[in-house]
Amino acid sequence: MSRRQLERGAAMRGRVSAEGIVPLGADFPPDGSGPDADCHILHIDMDAFFASVERLHNPEARERPVIVGGTGPRGVVSSADYLARRCGVHSAMPMVRAMRLCPEALVFPPDGPAYREASEAVMDILRSVTPLVQPLSSDEAFLDVSGARRRLGGPVRIAAMIRERVRKEQRLTCSVGVAATPFTAKLGSTHCKPDGLLLVPTEHVHGFLDPLPVGALPGVGDKTEKALTRLGLRTVGDVARVETDLLCLELGNKAGTRLAELARGVDRNSVTPESPDKSVGAEETFDRDVSDVEEIHREFLRLSEKVARRMRAAGLVGRTVSVKLRRADFSTINRSRTLQESTDVAREINAVARELYDMSGMERTRLRLIGVRVEGVEAAERSYRQLALGEEETGWRDVERVMDRVADRFGPGAIQSAVLAKRDEKDV
């Protein structure tokens, strides 16, 4: 089946109405007085996000299945587009098996920077609608549009506008569920994938939920599903009709009560906007366990530069530097130190990280992973460095900002510290 056929099928499904669900394309009053009047929660879910971004960047993939994942002998699937999914390919599947199921697919290794850039652009669109955006991952988020209705119209109109902007500005598609609660909105977006929009009016929530399998309820894994099956509960409607006390007896008070409420369309969660980052960090797992102090020092420098670069890009500074040291047997220790002044300078972060490592008693210990993290971060404009009497500014912050600009223009490997560059030349 071609991509065009899939898109046509999605449009057809959007025009099907069942159990009172209002489909894509329905006409709604501009004042928000329609059946979506109390449905102010939206769940936005990008369609096959990683694979869709790869298709944008690789024209040869337009009419072929796309799989993203590791290409080595132990590689696994990270994402598959809907053409590949039709062949049975799914995430976490061994790549060898995926290629047997879909030999005509194009396989791309994950491109983290491209996915982050696309994700940030989509999240910017969402935040232009309302500040009440709760990202769940790089490709999905909840929105509370109750405050945007006066300016933009009812929830369904807002959802349609978001879909159109994502399509026009990013050339990507998304599916949107609209409902009165986050749980139902998320199920709505799943129900209308790919490239759909679905409203579940409050008066028809039970008609929508009841036929679904119990596995559609959050928190219902294999173990819980087996427990519910033993009670003769196979659909959400079955769970909704059973006594809450029985669920609590079988699953525990907290899980039983939560499950009973969700099955009855009650979700006490609200959209919680993303809180500012409290820390910025980077880790490296070595290909082989490393005990050489010089090599570990170099890796601390590399990680410190990566962390500092991320902080400057986000306009953040921080005061507490911590390191993670994981031994070959997976046991892990953490060490930290709080500076007198906030910083976003790699040279300063690395100096503390190296000292923490040198004082850890782990020298010559075989390590499989190390990490550097700056905690207690805040916006750079809220903090300034107060020089002590007689202290001179080193100028390293300006040097590293110049390095940032060079890396942005020519790529991250275009300029680096001499220690790292010298080592890389030896490795060639």
Catalytic residue among 63, 104, 140, 378: 140
Query: Helix, strand, coil proportions of the chain in percent (round to 5)?
Result: 45, 20, 35
Check if 140 is active-site: yes
Q: In what order do the strands lie in the sheet with 77-80?
A: 77-80, 66-69, 106-108
Report the alpha-carbon distance of residue 408 to residue 343 in Å, rounded: 21
Listed in sequence order, the residues at least 6 apart from 232 whose beta carbon sits closer than 8 Å to its beta carbon are: 238
User: Residues 237, 207: contact at Cβ < 8 Å?
Assistant: no
Report the alpha-carbon distance of residue 348 to residue 346 in Å, rounded: 5
Nearest CA-CA partner of 46 in 184, 189, 149: 189
Task: Write out the DSSP string of 220-265.
Answer: --HHHHHHHHHTT--BHHHHHHS-HHHHHHHH-HHHHHHHHHHHTT
Does 45 count as an annotated binding residue?
yes
User: Residues 123, 115: contact at Cβ < 8 Å?
Assistant: no
Distances in Å between the Cα of 57 and the Cα atoms of 106, 107, 171 are 13, 13, 11
With 0-12 / 13-18 / 19 or more C-beta atoms within 10 angstroms meaning exposed / middle / buried, residue 56 is middle
Nearest CA-CA partner of 21 in 265, 213, 202: 202
Does 144 count as an annotated binding residue?
no
Give me 390's structure tokens.
Answer: 């007689």
Pairing of β 140-144 and β 133-137: antiparallel
Q: Which residues are annotated as a binding site for Mg(2+)?
A: 45, 139
Catalytic positions, please?
140
Q: Which residues are annotated as a binding site?
A: 45, 139
